[in-house]
Structure 1
């Protein structure tokens, strides 16, 4: 239940704090006084779109705050718990929203910042808004289906189960369709992978082979130069060169001379050791040089073979990776992909079996859903007809047609149509073809009256639901709204005194000019002020006769409410 609504700088409302009560809260005022503006502000706090046009001229931001009593509303408490928002022990819920000219939103729920999306979800659990737009929405098949599906808890549970299976079936169907559409690409990929793996396997590559081949080719390609240089080095070590003797021979002579010195002076033993070691190392090196240049020969055939092998590897490297290791890694990946693709047909078969099984389950649930809808359609239509009788339409007939479409949707396999006839002897037809504005308003009110007893929403808002009605019908509408207000809080904008007379709280809105600025003033009327307002609504001017009529109307409303209370 809405306890308080605070509005700052919203259109014509500069500042207003409005207290509401349980039961029927009536909002009246001259045309253009700002009644719909107040409801728009209320809608903003429930998650409706805010616009810079809503911000009062001269202000930088608007602010709306609402205080609710949510005690006993489990849907709200569960939603708050899901967002880790602390709830007050007494069920008090405070929602605040600030909207600036640069489009920035600041939304808090019990002091916690929340998103606009969350605010909308919360608003749906707190308030049911109904205006002339909602009357028109009754003409849409989707709205008619939602009304029927919300009528029965068993129907809602069955629909939820159907949707869980439908979601799985839809996902499998899409996956299967996507997999089948890729069959050509898969076949092409399979052929390419087989050709690639065969090509790499035929090469019989070894890790690091490309580096080894490059080194061997370098040696063979320069064999003559290498042989000549080795021979020259050997000669210098053993035979000497131009202008100097053999290195090994010279070093041997140095060794002999130092041996003579050491016999007389041990101080030079270290130098002798160095020379001796160097001599032995050079003699070993000389032998290896001779063996190398004698064994090394230029082999054109071997060189050509190695070059051809390296060219093959270079060719593969351009396709699969810069080194033999990269090529072999690609080979392993391709093999794994081939193995996985080999089971592709099995995957398609498995998906097909899953889809068939889900489709059988879905068909069964759809049939059960159709049966439940057909049963509840008759019950809902009967209840609505009973309320239509009390709304001045005793001959009205409502049929809710449930037809099968033959294809699955998220809502089942049915089309729901509300067929209506306001007069005896006329065949019911689609609501949009036969219902007048006043008839549509009364039909909407009858539906809301039925639904109000089954939902957990604490507050309902009727924005000029009295459009297109008057006289005795207006009194009947007033009584229906008052009956709804006996079970939950109702906020109602009206121009009809019959409805206003039923108020548990009467809120009056008026425009005032202040320093060349127009503002909307809002106040809750006393009993005497309510009498005066009813007189104005009845005759346009407050006369003694109008006051007497208003008093009679208030007494009649009081008697009606007392009678309902006693029956309860």
Structure 2
């Protein structure tokens, strides 16, 4: 449920706070006052796209914050999957900001999220009916998705299993097409793979080789400097220079003195032993360094070989990947594909067999999916028909056609279309061909009324559902919305007093001009103010005792 909406610097709204309650929340106001800005702001907060006009003139940023109390387990699952903190009280704070540059930043419970993530989350929080949804109802390709929302978890599980097989079928067909494609293309692919395989095999690459070669190249390229440094170091440590003893000689002489002293004072024995170990390590290290010096020699041929080897590695990296590991991975895949193509006849038979098994499984699953849809369609069309009768379409017949498609699709083998006959004696026809604006609004409301028991979405939003209805019909539509509000939170923008009179909570949107700037404000109405607003909707700006009495009467008749 949407509990609170904070809007700042959006179009004509400088700043507004709206606190929504359970039941039917009605928003009314003069045409152009900014009623749709409330819905647009909510749409923006939940990841919708807006243009630069969304930002209030002369301001640097617009902010919309929406606070929900979410009991839908899918919302909790979404938060956990995306690492978003879950509040103990189940509240969900969505905040989105738009800068003057057009850049937007969105956060959910303090964690930054993408617009795509917001849209996914929005689908579990609320359902908006406006012009877009009106058009989707006229599009038969959308009807299967609407029907599936009524089918519940039983269909979801079967569809998930079916789609897995559907994807597998596509992959198997792709592999089979590769095997059984045009012979010249296949032969060409075989030649390319064979060449790539032999080229990489001929290089005998191994992981880590490049690093070893670079280290060897570095050493061989610096052999003269290494020789000079080693000779000088060995002289200082071990051989000594003319007129100067080596470090080993000096340490040996010092050790002799320490040993004589230790013979006179036993407390020096431990130090004597430690120094003896130091001397042994120094002498051993000096000899090893001298041995290394004797092994050093310039080897131009070795350096040239290393350079050639590195060039081979670089060339293969350029062709097959950015590293030796990537080249070896490419090689493995080439070997597998080559083996796949060389054993094409045997492999094709295996694929045909696997494809047949998948096809049979898909057919069985599609049959179960069809059965679920048809059974649900019977229930839904009866309930929708009854809802239409309740809204002054007493002769209406509503039918959900579920026919078999020729080919498998991602949703199964079904083609679904909503048909309606609005008057007695008329044939069932597609919605787009016979439904007026008023009839379409009632069909959508009837679908929502039925959907409320099959959906976990907590909030329904109707942006001017009163299109094309008036009088007694408007009253029936209002009553239907009032009953719907007993099961879900409803937000509704309307111009009709018959619908406004059903409000559990009433908001008036007004436009004011002050200091040369136009500002839209939102006011929460008490019972008396609500009656005055209903009276205004009935009779214009001049509110009389007659219109006030009629407004109070409408309120008293609220279900």
Q: 1:466 to 1:343 in 2, by over 3 A?
A: same
For 2:145, the equivalent position in structure 1 comes to 146
Superposition pairs of residues 101-180 of structure 1, within 5 angstroms: 101-153=100-152, 154-180=154-180
Give how far 1:344 is off.
Answer: 3.3
Q: Secondary structure at the match of 1:502?
A: coil
TM-score w.r.t. length of structure 1: 0.72
Q: 1:109 to 1:427 in 2, by over 3 A?
A: same
- Is it true that 1:405 corresponds to 2:414 in the alignment? no
Q: 1:338 to 1:2 in 2, by over 3 A?
A: closer
| Distance (whole Å) between structure 2 residues aligned to residue 196 and residue 159 of structure 1 | 42
Give how far 1:157 is off.
Answer: 2.7
For 1:551, the equivalent position in structure 2 comes to 552
Q: 1:486 to 1:354 in 2, by over 3 A?
A: same
| Distance (whole Å) between structure 1 residues aligned to residue 347 and residue 458 of structure 2 | 51
Give a deviation string over 1:504-531, Cα, whole Å, max 9, x none. Answer: 1100000000111101011101111111
Q: 1:194 to 1:464 in 2, by over 3 A?
A: closer
Contact 2:340 2:347 in 1 (8 A): no
The range that moved more, 188-197 or 396-405, is 188-197
| Distance (whole Å) between structure 2 residues aligned to residue 193 and residue 9 of structure 1 | 62
Q: Which has the larger radius of gyration?
A: 1
Give how far 1:335 is off.
Answer: 9.6
Superposition pairs of residues 278-427 of structure 1, within 5 angstroms: 341-427=341-427
- Is it true that 1:48 corresponds to 2:48 in the alignment? yes
For 1:181, the equivalent position in structure 2 comes to 181
For 1:99, the equivalent position in structure 2 comes to 98
Specify every segment of 5 or more residues in structure 2 that has no aligned partner in the other structure, as ranges. Answer: 199-311, 317-327
Q: 1:184 to 1:425 in 2, by over 3 A?
A: same
Q: 1:189 to 1:85 in 2, by over 3 A?
A: closer
Contact 1:46 1:124 in 2 (8 A): no
For 1:83, the equivalent position in structure 2 comes to 82
Q: 1:359 to 1:30 in 2, by over 3 A?
A: same
Give how far 1:52 is off.
Answer: 1.4
Q: Secondary structure at the match of 1:48?
A: coil
TM-score w.r.t. length of structure 2: 0.73
Q: 1:547 to 1:401 in 2, by over 3 A?
A: same
Q: 1:396 to 1:186 in 2, by over 3 A?
A: same
For 1:65, the equivalent position in structure 2 comes to 65
| Distance (whole Å) between structure 2 residues aligned to residue 510 and residue 196 of structure 1 | 73
Q: 1:533 to 1:351 in 2, by over 3 A?
A: same
Contact 2:511 2:519 in 1 (8 A): yes
Contact 2:178 2:186 in 1 (8 A): no
Give how far 1:159 is off.
Answer: 2.2
Q: Secondary structure at the match of 1:3?
A: strand
The range that moved more, 135-144 or 408-417, is 135-144
Q: Secondary structure at the match of 2:460?
A: strand
Q: Secondary structure at the match of 1:68?
A: strand
Specify every segment of 5 or more residues in structure 1 that has no aligned partner in the other structure, as ranges. Answer: 199-316, 322-328, 561-568
For 1:4, the equivalent position in structure 2 comes to 4
Give how far 1:144 is off.
Answer: 1.1
Q: 1:344 to 1:502 in 2, by over 3 A?
A: same
Give how far 1:29 is off.
Answer: 0.2
